[in-house]
Amino acid sequence: MLDIKYVRAHPEVVKTSIQRRNLNAEKINVDHLLDLDTKWREAQSRANDLRGQRNELSSSIKKLAAEERKEVINKVKGIKGELTQIEKDLEDLATERDVLLRLLPNLLADDVPDGKTDEENVEVSHWGQLPTFDFEPRDHVALGEITDTIDFDRAAKVTGSNFYYLKHEAVLLEQALCSFATAHLLPEGFIPITTPDLARSEVLEGIGFAPRGPEKQVYNVEETDLSLVGTAEITVGGYHSGEIFDADTLPLSYLGFSHCFRTEAGAYGKESRGLYRVHQFTKAEMFVLCEEADSTRQHERIRAQEEALLQELGIPYRVVNVCAGDLGAPALKKYDIEAWMPGRSAYGEVTSCSNCTDYQARRLNIRYRPEPTASPKHVHMLNGTAIAISRTLIAILENFQRADGSVSIPKALHPFTAGVKEIPCRR
RNA sequence: GGAGAGAUGGCCGAGUUGGUCGAAGGCGCCUGAUUCGAAAUCAGGUGUACGGGUAACCGUACCGGGGGUUCGAAUCCCUUUCUCUCCGCCA
């Protein structure tokens, strides 16, 4: 959520963000919002006057004789009639205004490229040598089948499409990747944390997810206000809601582990084969709370960690600066890191990191005091994928496959795989 | 799941026969005095949001959330969430 005071002062900047993000300006109407806001402020002012009058008269009642008292009470009742109506208007205006206010996306960083879809994201760097094979490389679905490590067919019996079982070395890899991420990020000051896999609507909304309605991306739990989380960003972000930090406790960095559940409604089509777009996966997520002036630096720090992890694994990748039209509403700027996936001879997103500035902190009410006696400001919040297990598995299987259908396990994971260094072909 | 108790400012904690309570007291923090400096001590200050004003400042709201009673609610009633204790069930 943006600061309404900022919207009042800089409506053009907000409009530009909406336009560049290719959002529906009819629906997300800044002028209408400001109009409602003006009316709300007028009503607020009037209500204040009336309440002031009421309070003054009310407090005098005690001292008055019975005769006068009746008269004044009637007078106050008259004020109350008008006040009740204005308070009703005030509430309606505030509700309508806030609905619109919450639809506004974050501002855009200066260096966010123009563009409508992910095809217009701009490559900013790349790393690693693309593998060459003297055989026809298999994709991860085929590899998962012949090594008996990923089973989609049987999962379909239990949960339907886009679920899977991991078996044998894939399970080792899942656990090893989590341990690998921890081992790498612990010395960097990240606090490991496991979180609930569910969260309340209030928290989902605070982070910028729609918990209900046609645009929701999450599973709801019946007869509760809970949803399965799509990322630990939600639960780690909600962790400190309502709190005020001393500046010297920031930045605060977490490495959150959770399962991620996504309905992926309407996302079927290309790029949805195999593990790429599934309803459940495990993820290690970096999450940083910091001071306002520090967030750009923290964003680069998270990105550097994401790159370091892929480099240690030996997976070729490129970094793209996500264009305005492909950015999520809470993000001021986002990098996607795309690993090379030989199964489709293309790069595919494996991690991303977003600078959400104070957009999430405002609704979650997470603040800090820049100085001990200063008024609190909202913290800046950033998130980035350390390891998304499912997509990392794609990259590992496809990049490290051999002609005989076996797969070598990256050296960086050997300390965590119980001595297992390769995945044998079983068919 | 059943029965009770509670939720107050950055923290702890008074206040429940409704009015002078944004809220005692303490801690913490800030400023000043004292000191070579510090500790200790003493004095003063110290919530958030919204609205108004160039400003000093003024008004309004906020005592977990929502609703109600009343001229007036931290205080009374209803409801909801959470916490704690006890009982039951269970990994």
Max Cα separation, chain A? 104
The encoded tokens of residue A407 equal 């797969």
- Whether the per-residue pLDDT at A339 is higher than 90: the answer is yes
Active site (annotated) includes residue A349: yes
CA at A393, C1' at B1: how many angstroms apart?
A: 44
Coil/strand/helix, residue A45: helix
pLDDT at residue A268, rounded to an integer = 62
Q: Please report the pLDDT score of residue A269 as a whole number.
A: 61
Enumerate the domain spans of chain A.
Answer: 4-103, 118-423
What residue type is assigned to position A283 of the chain? K
User: Residue A255 forms beta bridges with which residues?
Assistant: A192, A286
Least confident of A76-80, A145-149, A325-329, A347-351: A76-80
Say if residues A278 and A309 touch (Cβ distance below 8 Å): no
Distances (CA, A) of A185 to A149, A301, A309, A396, A415: 28, 12, 9, 20, 16
Q: What pLDDT score does A109 carry?
A: 96
Which of these is catalytic: A54, A97, A277, A367?
Answer: A277
Distance measured from the CA of protein residue A372 to the C1' of nucleotide B45, in angstroms: 14
CB of A244 within 7 Å of some strand B atom: yes
Identify the residue with better confidence: A408 or A248: A408
Could you confirm whether A51 is annotated as catalytic?
no
- Among residues of chain A, what percentage have pLDDT more than 90? 66
The whole-number Å distance from A61's CA to B19's C1' is 9
**Mean pLDDT estimate for chain A:** 92
pLDDT of residue A355: 97
pTM of the model: 0.92
When mean pLDDT is compared over A1-5, A363-367, A405-409, the highest value belongs to A405-409
Whole-number Å distance, CA A302 to C1' B25? 47
Q: pLDDT by residue (tens digit) across A134-180? A: 999 999 999 999 999 999 999 999 999 899 999 999 999 999 999 99
Residue A367: active-site member: no
Q: Spelled out in words, what is the top-level CATH class assigned to the domain A118-423?
A: alpha beta
The bases of strand B with some atom under 7 A from any protein CB are 10, 19-20, 29-30, 45-52, 59-61, 67, 71-72
As a rounded value in angstroms, the CA-to-C1' distance for A29 and B53 is 31
Give the pLDDT of residue A121.
97
Residue A71 is predicted with a pLDDT of 82
Model pLDDT, residue A267: 65
Distance between CA atoms of residues A181 and A259, nearest Å? 15
Q: What is the tens place of the pLDDT at every residue in A310-325?
A: 999 999 999 999 999 9
Q: Is the CB of A76 under 7 A from strand B?
A: yes
Which of A247-256, A366-375, A392-401 has the weakest average pLDDT? A366-375
**Angle, helix A295-313 to helix A389-399, in steps of 10 degrees:** 40
pLDDT score, position A398: 97
Say which CATH class A4-103 falls into: mainly alpha
pLDDT at A83: 85
Which residue of the set A169, A349, A363, A390 is catalytic? A349
How far CA A205 is from CA of A199, A201, A232, in Å, comes to 10, 6, 14
Q: Is A427 a catalytic residue?
A: no
What pLDDT is attached to residue A46?
Answer: 87
**Average pLDDT of the residues in A37-45:** 88
Q: What's the confidence (pLDDT) of residue A143?
A: 97
pLDDT tens sequence across A277-313: 999 999 999 999 999 899 999 999 999 999 999 999 9
Supply the ipTM of this predicted assembly: 0.83
Q: How confident is the model at residue A347 (pLDDT cuts 50, 70, 90)?
A: very high
| pLDDT number for residue A78 | 83
State yes or no: is A262 an active-site residue.
Answer: yes
pLDDT above 80: residue A240: yes
Query: How many Å separate Cα A186 from the centre of its chain?
Result: 22
- Cα A381 to its chain centre, rounded Å, is 10
Does residue A247 reach within 7 angstroms of strand B, measured from its CB?
A: no
Question: Please, is A113 exposed, middle or buried when counting C-beta atoms within 10 Å of its C-beta (0-12, 13-18, 19+)?
Answer: middle
Measured CA to CA, the distance from residue A139 to residue A85 in angstroms comes to: 66
Note the helical H segments in A62-116: 66-103
Q: Are A218 and A204 in contact (CB under 8 A)?
A: yes
Q: What type of residue sits at position A349?
A: E
Q: Which of A227, A253, A295, A352 is catalytic?
A: A352
Alpha-carbon distance A28 to A104, whole Å?
7
Each residue of A115-139: pLDDT tens digit? 999 999 999 999 999 999 999 999 9
